[in-house]
A = this chain, B = another copy of it.
Amino acid sequence: MRLSAFALSTTKETPADAEIVSHQLMLRAGMIRKLGAGLYTWTPLGIRVLRKVENIVREEMDAAGALEVLMPAVQPAELWQQSGRWDAMGDLMLRMTDRAERQYCFGPTHEEVITDYAKRDISSYKQLPVNFYQIQTKFRDEIRPRFGLMRAREFIMKDAYSFHMDDADLDREYHVMRAAYARILDRIGLDYRVVAADSGAIGGAKSEEFHVLAQTGEDELAVAENGRYAANVEAALTMASETPRPAPGGELRKVDTPGVATIADLCAALDLPAETTAKAIVVMGDDDKPVLLVLRGDHSLNEIKAEGIDGIATPLQFAEESVIREHFGAGPGSLGPVNVNVRVIADYAVQNAADMAVGANYDGAHFVNFNWGRDAIEPEFADLRNVVAGDPSPDGSPLSILRGIEVGHVFQLGDKYSRALELSVLDENGKSITPQMGCYGFGVSRIVAAAIEQCFDDAGICWPTAIAPFELVIIPIKADKSAAVRKACDNLYAECRNAGIDVALDDRGLRPGPMFADAELIGIPHRVVISDRGLEAGTLEYKGRRDSDNSQIEYSLEALRQKLGR
């Protein structure tokens, strides 16, 4: 591509409303332009990256035996009513009514549509297993669209849906897809982790997420040092400790703690480390009675885990202050497990602790030297908290906490949708069965932003070669004054194109500074500079995007190819 004809549109200024680096750099490099809240146009520069991602995804899905289809974006309400999600999706779903007064949505996902499709076309075990995928535009009406493509409303996903005769075959295909996703991310060239996930609203049993590592990632990932366990912190398990509980060290003693509202206040007031304190949180049970959750002072409640405990209301509902006062005689900040008349569930981390500081259920007072069994009856113990760095993984290897951006999610859905939409097939004995389903999502537009979050420096984007808008840029020095430079540029450009190198020639007639700055900002992995001086010496000036210095290489396609690693 000759950049003079490419409508490149870069800026030095960081746009005021872009909070994260990928959004800033995509705007500065001119990859996207905002049309409205959460709506972006991909520019000629941006779409080159998008199409490269799309092609890698398509090739790997095809290689894995999935079959490409394309479903409509506009979906009839009836199917969503049948699955029960028409209401459940709430405001996230953009709804519309056509001229015939029928209701539709702009598909946020396609479980219902693909199940309906399968219902029309699949009737026999002979047609299973099958896995359909599409690369398609979705819309989710986010409350607060932001971060550019990271949380856009209209976005591009690869979504795949598989159908199986039984769980074992679903599990087989799940691992085929998991491997395909790993190959996609390997080819794109990003550092990522596969982590166990909570299945959330989509439903189903087993699921894992693919996260591109980035310090700015929204999600926390717990990864075992030995590499055998990784989970989203939302889903990472903590274990009951096997060390025995120490004997009580002192008498339960009530201390005045006026004005203490938080664990930090308590530690300051009593000069205690947070790990010797316990905090108490009141949530509502299914039966509308309060339940007291007790966690170590420095730990945080994992709401998904709490919600998953039998008898706890779903979605998790924190008790109102009036209810708390009625049952505990004190407000939040002074609660504890002593002398209470409600269900108490304590986190594993406080199971084998002794001599804890806890709220006294009396405003402005706490107990010290609290011990289970002695000062309160033994509660139920459960996994209630988010893991922290250093926690053991299920096999004991210590966990580190990394930050990641979710770009893929593989699910074993089971029969949730096939049952709701009444998909059935005949097995070998002519008996009707409900197929098991898997679903596999990959954020095609999102990974473009995620790649930038992982790969940038002060000068701009540092694309992995596989998805760079161009592999190589040729920059001429004083082309306006040197026919030799112009000719050499044209020749090298033609040679590179013939060799299948995705090359850009910066023939915009700018000064070297702005050309270098643009090449760095838009993140072209390889750069060569052609000047009269170099031509005289028979050399090209080469610089990799991450290199700190230039190097001179022989003026030949062969030497250049070596630098490009091809």
A interface residue numbers (CB < 8 A to B): 5-7, 9, 30, 33, 35-37, 39-44, 47, 50-51, 65, 67-76, 91, 94-96, 98-100, 102, 104, 106, 113, 116-117, 120-121, 127, 130, 132, 137, 139, 141, 143, 153-154
Find the B residue at minimum CB distance from A36.
B76
A70 lies within 8 A of B94 (CB): no
Q: In the docked arrangement, what's the CA distance between A120 and B33, Å?
A: 8
Identify 14 new A-B residue pairs, CB closer than 8 A, beyond the known A5-B65, A74-B154.
A30-B121, A33-B117, A35-B76, A36-B72, A36-B74, A36-B75, A37-B102, A41-B69, A41-B70, A42-B69, A42-B70, A47-B68, A74-B94, A106-B106
In the complex where A74-B94, A106-B74, A121-B33 touch, is A67 in contact with B6 (Cβ < 8 A)? yes
A41 lies within 8 A of B117 (CB): yes
Which B residues touch A74, using CB under 8 A?
Answer: 36, 39, 94, 106, 139, 153-154
The answer, among B39, B44, B67, for a CB contact under 8 Å with A69, is: B44
Find the B residue at minimum CB distance from A133.
B44
Q: In the docked arrangement, what's the CA distance between A98 and B37, Å?
A: 11
B72 lies within 8 A of A130 (CB): no
The answer, among B7, B35, B43, B96, for a CB contact under 8 Å with A72, is: B35
Which B residues touch A30, using CB under 8 A?
Answer: 121
A95 lies within 8 A of B96 (CB): yes
In the complex where A95-B96, A99-B141, A141-B98 touch, is A41 in contact with B9 (Cβ < 8 A)? no
Which B residues touch A44, using CB under 8 A?
Answer: 67-69, 132
A71 smallest CB distance to B (angstroms)? 5
Which B residues touch A37, using CB under 8 A?
Answer: 100, 102
A40 lies within 8 A of B72 (CB): yes
In the complex where A106-B74, A143-B99 touch, is A121 in contact with B35 (Cβ < 8 A)? no
The answer, among B43, B50, B120, B130, for a CB contact under 8 Å with A7, is: B130
Which B residues touch A91, using CB under 8 A?
Answer: 99
Find the B residue at minimum CB distance from A445.
B70
Find the B residue at minimum CB distance from A98.
B141
Q: In the docked arrangement, what's the CA distance between A137 and B71, Å?
A: 11
Which B residues touch A139, using CB under 8 A?
Answer: 73-74
The answer, among B36, B70, B72, for a CB contact under 8 Å with A50, is: B70
Which B residues touch A141, using CB under 8 A?
Answer: 98-99
A357 smallest CB distance to B (angstroms)? 45
In the complex where A99-B141, A116-B35, A141-B99 touch, is A73 in contact with B154 (Cβ < 8 A)? yes
In the complex where A33-B121, A75-B35 touch, is A69 in contact with B98 (Cβ < 8 A)? no
A–B Cβ pairs within 8 angstroms, 16 of them: A7-B132, A33-B117, A35-B117, A36-B72, A36-B102, A39-B72, A41-B71, A41-B72, A41-B113, A41-B117, A43-B121, A72-B154, A73-B106, A73-B154, A91-B99, A137-B137
Which B residues touch A95, using CB under 8 A?
Answer: 96
A58 smallest CB distance to B (angstroms)? 9
Which B residues touch A98, using CB under 8 A?
Answer: 94, 141, 153
Q: In the docked arrangement, what's the CA distance between A41 and B95, Å?
A: 20
B72 lies within 8 A of A113 (CB): no
Q: In the docked arrangement, what's the CA distance between A95 and B104, Å?
A: 11
A2 smallest CB distance to B (angstroms)? 10
A445 smallest CB distance to B (angstroms)? 9
A137 lies within 8 A of B73 (CB): yes
Q: In the docked arrangement, what's the CA distance between A104 and B35, Å?
A: 12
B35 lies within 8 A of A47 (CB): no
A7 lies within 8 A of B121 (CB): yes
A413 smallest CB distance to B (angstroms)? 19
Which B residues touch A75, using CB under 8 A?
Answer: 35-36, 39
In the complex where A96-B96, A127-B7, A137-B137 touch, is A113 in contact with B35 (Cβ < 8 A)? yes
Which B residues touch A76, using CB under 8 A?
Answer: 35-36, 39
- By Cβ-Cβ distance, the 4 closest A-B pairs, closest first, are A44-B67, A96-B96, A42-B70, A91-B99
A70 lies within 8 A of B47 (CB): yes
Q: In the docked arrangement, what's the CA distance between A36 and B72, Å?
A: 9
In the complex where A41-B117, A70-B50 touch, is A94 in contact with B94 (Cβ < 8 A)? no
A100 smallest CB distance to B (angstroms)? 8
Which B residues touch A71, using CB under 8 A?
Answer: 35, 41-42
